[in-house]
């Protein structure tokens, strides 16, 4: 699930089904209403659409702002000395895991997926909670799941774009530069021009073919298996591409144009390498991974990686044509986009692999946003509808679900026993809740942040509108946004009653009212 979480101990707890006994740390509920969060409201005019889609918005907000925003013990979470007290809180990964949860991937994903917008101080604390002070300065905590570190760069840049916090930007630039330099020094493969490391969502060996999965290794952790450290995965390399561009943008904002140009050049070379080694012209999509060593060295695994395809679109690795092609060719299971398709031979529909043909809402949500970014209303609507089905039927935001039945299911994975165990899908998953918030904010309403403005690029399925998002915070403003019509092409827009582009300058103040009529799209 997350980075740096002591995989063997955690795997044992989950396999035994007792991890949920861990107590929530003191201070989980702050004194302020919403625990320091803005709490917008979402309302669809159609009562049926409101019951189906709108009614889940408030529970998602409460899931994140309630028990999943916890008191931060300084000795655990403030290694960099940058947390603010108040609020003295951070966002945890979710229920069912042992404390503490100082995990880079979860911290970054949840701030990126909504917390930076709704609770900037909590988000800032959450990002700093996984940063250390090294000899040369600030750096994302260094550990054996190095591939998780780089998503922090994207989340940090996004936080700056949302908030305009220049003091944060300066330190985030330092942290990102040191982190990316360490990863390039240790895990860049010059022969392929790609970065080594397992896939973004797949720290468990169930997410990989054999090899690298080995029956002789009794561990669920991917790096315990031979040659796994040398894999070059689509999702991870897309994140590196995005991180180079994010750090370049930070450098430009801070007046370092030479550094920015160098980073953009490195990003261009990486994108070329991704296209060369991972694009499948025969199938109009990307493959999953290239083996870096072992009996399959240089071989492309052609499985479909859900997070990798989503990130290729969201971060601009795929151009517009390729984005359309891969969205058209993606395999959907009955209940959504899975981590890796198809089943590896050791799994099947009866015993699906935990990181194989299973729906993790965070991955599914990323794919839904990718469809919206590409202006594809139909797959976007399907992504939202499917996630709503999973959450409402299960009664909560769980860790993962069976892709055939939609049931709460932790999937199967080998471990210390030498045999596959049936894992537990843990409750109260923060990034499952923020996946829904991301689909609404970034997908439906198309919130797109730049240094000096918020642009709206909505994607409204034709039978959903009109829909209103009220009380949305943006820097010194509170926005009320109404979408009508249907599609992804802006036909008209008014801001405070006057015809305008769907853009809000970052230096505005007070309440702003935006109305957008949409058409086109498919």
Write the Ramachandran bin of 435: left for phi over 0, alpha for psi from -120 to 50, otherwise beta. alpha
Q: What SS3 state is found at 36? A: helix
The contacts of residue 48 (CB under 8 Å, 6+ apart) are: none
CB atoms within 10 A of CB 190: 6
Pair 363, 337: CB distance under 8 Å: yes
Q: How far apart are CA 34 and CA 182, in angstroms?
A: 38
Residue with tokens 């240790």: 186
Rounded to two decimals, the pTM is 0.94
Q: What does the pLDDT profile of the chain (522 residues) look like in tens digits?
A: 333 333 332 333 333 232 332 233 334 333 345 688 999 999 999 999 999 999 999 999 999 999 999 999 999 999 999 999 999 999 999 999 999 999 999 999 999 999 999 999 999 999 999 999 999 999 999 999 999 999 999 999 999 999 999 999 999 999 999 999 999 999 999 999 999 999 999 999 999 999 999 999 999 999 999 999 999 999 999 999 999 999 999 999 999 999 999 999 999 999 999 999 999 999 999 999 999 999 999 999 999 999 999 999 999 999 999 999 999 999 999 999 999 999 999 999 999 999 999 999 999 999 999 999 999 999 999 999 999 999 999 999 999 999 999 999 999 999 888 889 999 999 999 999 999 999 999 999 999 999 999 999 999 999 999 999 999 999 999 999 999 999 999 999 999 999 999 999 999 999 999 999 999 867
CA distances 186 to 73, 229, 327, Å, are: 32, 11, 34
DSSP state of 141: P
The number of residues in the chain equals 522
């Amino acid at each position: 699930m997350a980075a740096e979480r002591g995989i063997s101990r955690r795997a044992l707890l989950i396999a035994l089904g007792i991890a949920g006994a861990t107590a929530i740390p003191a201070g989980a509920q702050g004194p302020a209403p919403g625990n320091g969060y803005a709490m917008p409201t979402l309302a669809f005019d159609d009562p049926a659409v409101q019951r189906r889609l709108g009614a889940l918005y408030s529970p998602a907000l409460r899931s994140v702002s309630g028990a999943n925003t916890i008191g931060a013990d300084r000795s655990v979470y403030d290694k960099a000395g940058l947390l603010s007290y108040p609020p003295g809180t951070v966002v945890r990964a979710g229920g069912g895991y042992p404390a503490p949860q100082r995990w880079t991937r979860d911290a970054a994903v949840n701030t990126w997926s909504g917390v930076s917008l709704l609770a900037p101080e909590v988000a800032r604390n959450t990002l700093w909670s996984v940063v250390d002070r090294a000899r040369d300065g600030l750096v994302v905590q260094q550990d054996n799941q190095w591939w998780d570190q780089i998503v922090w760069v994207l989340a940090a840049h996004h936080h700056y774009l949302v908030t305009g916090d220049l003091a944060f930007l300066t330190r985030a630039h330092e942290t990102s530069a040191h982190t990316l330099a360490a990863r390039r020094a240790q895990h860049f493969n010059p022969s392929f021009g790609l970065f080594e490391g397992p896939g973004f969502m797949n720290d468990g060996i169930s997410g990989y073919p054999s090899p690298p999965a080995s029956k002789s290794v009794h561990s669920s952790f991917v790096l315990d298996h031979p040659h796994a450290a040398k894999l070059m995965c689509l999702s991870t390399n897309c994140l590196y591409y995005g991180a180079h561009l994010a750090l370049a943008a930070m450098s430009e904002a801070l007046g370092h144009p030479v550094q920015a140009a160098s980073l953009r050049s490195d990003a261009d070379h990486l994108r070329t390498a991704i296209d060369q080694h991972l694009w499948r012209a025969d199938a109009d999509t990307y493959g999953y991974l290239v083996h870096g060593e072992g009996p399959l060295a240089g071989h492309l695994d052609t499985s479909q990686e859900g997070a990798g395809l989503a990130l290729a679109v969201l971060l601009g690795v795929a151009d517009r044509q390729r984005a359309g092609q891969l969205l058209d060719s993606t395999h959907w299971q009955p209940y959504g986009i899975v981590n890796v398709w198809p089943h590896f031979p050791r799994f099947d529909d009866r015993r699906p692999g935990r990181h194989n043909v299973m729906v993790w809402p965070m991955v599914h949500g990323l794919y839904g946003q990718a469809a919206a970014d590409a202006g594809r209303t139909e797959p976007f609507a399907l992504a939202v509808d499917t996630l709503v089905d999973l959450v409402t039927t299960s009664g909560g935001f769980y860790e993962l679900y069976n892709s055939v039945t939609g049931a709460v299911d932790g999937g199967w994975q080998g471990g210390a026993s030498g045999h596959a165990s049936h894992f537990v899908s843990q409750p109260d998953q923060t990034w499952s809740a923020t996946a829904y918030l991301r689909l609404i904010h970034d997908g439906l309403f198309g919130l797109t942040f730049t240094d000096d403005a918020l642009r709206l690029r909505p994607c409204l399925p034709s039978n959903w509108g009109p829909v209103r998002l009220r009380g949305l915070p943006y820097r010194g403003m509170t926005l009320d946004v109404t979408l009508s019509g249907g599609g992804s092409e802006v036909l008209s827009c008014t801001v405070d009653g006057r015809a305008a582009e769907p853009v809000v300058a970052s230096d505005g103040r007070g309440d702003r009212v935006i109305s957008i009529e949409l058409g086109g799209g498919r």
